[in-house]
Amino acid sequence: MPSRYQPQLSGWSKDLSKTSGLGIISEANYIACANDNYLEIYRYRKIIGVSFILILMVLADFMLIFIFFDILFVKRTLWVMGGGVFCIIITISVIIYHTLFNFLFAYFAPFSNPIRFNRKTGKVYLYEAVAIKWMTTFWLPFSAFKDLKKYQIKVYDWADFHAVLQGSTVVNPKGGSFEDYTLYGVACKPNSHELIEYVYIGKTNRLFTYAWDWISHFMEYGTDRPLNKAGLKYIDYSRDDAKSFMDVEPRIKVTSRQIEGLDKASKAGSKEELAQIEQEYQLSGTVYPVY
């Protein structure tokens, strides 16, 4: 049976249901902050792949430049071959230029694009690094660097925020294969399954479905009670800088009045408090490009 969310995510494996009964997870080290009002989770970026591609491309470019000059000045007669090598050098140089920008964005942009789930107001706040939009653009101007530290903040209702698993088969070089999964949030238009966007949450195995159950439990079960009385438990929490998972402070920097308002709104302790903050800071939209 296909996904209820259309257009369907490429590699879709399963739609995940919300729950109000499973408040136990085996691993919680993706949590940045959890308290009576809100939960913030990390979404890490990976730069190893970009770094590896950049190094390979640079080495290939140097080798081709050496071959080009060898053909041009030593062998002298192979002009057609030299012209072909020159065209390949230009192509690889363009790829290196694009990969270099991707590497710089991956290295210097905010390390995490967190998501905040507010259980008191029923809101979901997505922090998306503005630099990510440049990473899908073919030609990247140097002016794009002004966006490196900026966030675009999106606000959705929890009732319209769902989740799906994306699956893929990974072949083991030593033999056999295994299934690899990625958890995506699904933001929908109000009171429908009409898709607005898929939101990358984390790459993991199927056990991450328990983390989605835990988030659902956090948002829907015992929201009028303190967190330690809402039936939420964890087995392994290994953050070195925290006594418990409730002690970690979020790391979003307040750099403008708009971010200050959104920061307060995402931490609001009631719908009434949220309404006051939205009025004070004129927060009436659902997408905030922050500069």
User: 103 and 137 in one domain?
Assistant: no
User: CB under 8 Å, gap of 24 or more: what pairs does 232-241 form?
Assistant: 232/23, 232/24, 233/23, 233/24, 233/25, 234/24, 234/25, 234/26, 234/27, 234/28, 235/24, 235/25, 235/26, 235/27, 236/26, 236/27, 236/28, 236/29, 237/27, 237/28, 237/29, 237/31, 238/29, 239/29
Show the domain range for 201.
12-45+109-289
Lowest mean pLDDT among 111-115, 157-161, 252-256: 252-256
CB 206 within 8 A of CB 157: no
74 pLDDT band (50/70/90 cuts)? low
4 lies in some domain: no
User: 57 and 174 in one domain?
Assistant: no
User: 31 and 57 in one domain?
Assistant: no
Q: What was the pLDDT predicted at 181?
A: 82
Total domains present in the chain: 2
User: 115 and 89 in one domain?
Assistant: no
This prediction's pTM? 0.75
Tens digit of each residue's pLDDT (9 = 90 or more) over 225-280: 887 777 777 655 554 444 444 444 555 666 788 888 998 999 999 999 999 999 99
User: 228 and 208 in one domain?
Assistant: yes
5 lies in some domain: no
Lowest mean pLDDT among 204-213, 218-227, 252-261: 204-213
123 lies in some domain: yes
